[in-house]
A and B are shown apart, each in its own frame.
Chain A
Amino acid sequence: MKAVKIILVTLVLVFIVIQFIPSGIPENIPEDQKSIVNSNLVTVPVLDQLRKSCFDCHSNQVQFPWYSKLAPSSWLLADHILDGKSSLNFSEWQDYSNREKIGLLEEIKDEVGSGNMPLKSYLLIHRDAKLNSEAISALLTWADEASAKILK
């Protein structure tokens, strides 16, 4: 009984101590001219879908959930966001070259079309981010149209 008590107290202490370790979650930055929002590539419905399904890991406009303030879940979240933004950051869209933009649009088609994105672990908590077949085909069509606009 005493051993159980010691383990529980230790666990609580460890939990309290790890809260003081910085999570490394990047802070949000207000949207500026570099964002895809301010390009001529997105329509309102597409933008709504991107915000709902992609922006939490692929923009500087993250909707932080309550567990983003609690370690160790905050560490996992930081990892996802940093990883996502290093592959694609919609908030810094205009910093990409046209070649990179087309590369990213083709990658979006692959990831969304194959059902790899949004990540299944993300969808467990963000059910409204799930893309149904209609939303998937709308995004695929959008990516093709956006590439065509860049190539014009």
Chain B
Amino acid sequence: MKILTSIVVLVIITGFCFIQGPHGSQSIQKSGSIYTAEVKKVIDDKCYGCHSVKGSSQDAKDALLWDSLPNLQKSRLIATLDDIIKVLKKSEMPPKEIIKKYPEMKMLPQEIKILQSWAESRANSLLN
């Protein structure tokens, strides 16, 4: 009986994880001044589900947390922006397996352009 109860609890918890999915209904906590409204929308729609403290993938959280980005030290911030640009250029995000499961998560060319231009101009302003 105990085992059966444990299995039911586990199934319910797992179910909740899947309902949340990679998108969820979250939004960047402190938008601050570094994200424009259109950049924030792209991040909320396509990135934030995994790259926020509530994301389920530790790898994704280790690689990038949008909420912590403004607090990074200057050289680390430039490096992270450089990473974001490279990932966007190679169309590596969102990962293929996520897109397969949730086709609506695929980034549109316009969204890639918005995020990439923003990252490039942020990095340039830090370098000049």
Contacts and interface: CB of A to CB of B under 8 A. Distances in A.
Interface in A41-80: none
Contact of A106 (B76, B86, B124, B127): B76
A151 B128 CA distance: 8
B128 to A, nearest CB: 9
Contacts of B104: none
B75 A144 contact: yes
Interface in A110-152: 144, 147-148, 151
Interface in B63-86: 74-76, 78-79, 81-83, 85-86
B127 A103 contact: no
User: Interface residue tally of chain A, by bracket?
Assistant: 10 to 19
A109 B79 CA distance: 11
A151 B75 CA distance: 8
Interface in B32-84: 74-76, 78-79, 81-83
B81 A99 contact: yes
Chain A contact residues, majority secondary structure = helix
A99 B123 contact: yes
A102 B83 CA distance: 11
Nearest to A107: B79
A99 B124 CA distance: 8
Contacts, number: 33
Interface string B75-116: 110110111011000000000000000000000000000000
Chain B contact residues, majority secondary structure = helix
A19 interface: no
B74 A103 contact: no
Contact of A102 (B78, B85, B86, B124): B78
Given A99-B81, A99-B82, A100-B82, A105 B75 contact: yes
B127 A151 contact: yes
Given A99-B127, A100-B82, 12 more contacts: A99-B78, A99-B82, A99-B123, A99-B124, A102-B78, A102-B79, A102-B127, A103-B83, A103-B86, A106-B76, A107-B79, A151-B75
27 contacts: A98-B127, A99-B78, A99-B81, A99-B82, A99-B85, A99-B123, A99-B124, A99-B127, A100-B82, A102-B75, A102-B78, A102-B79, A102-B82, A102-B127, A103-B78, A103-B79, A103-B82, A103-B83, A105-B75, A106-B75, A106-B76, A106-B78, A147-B75, A148-B75, A151-B75, A151-B126, A151-B127
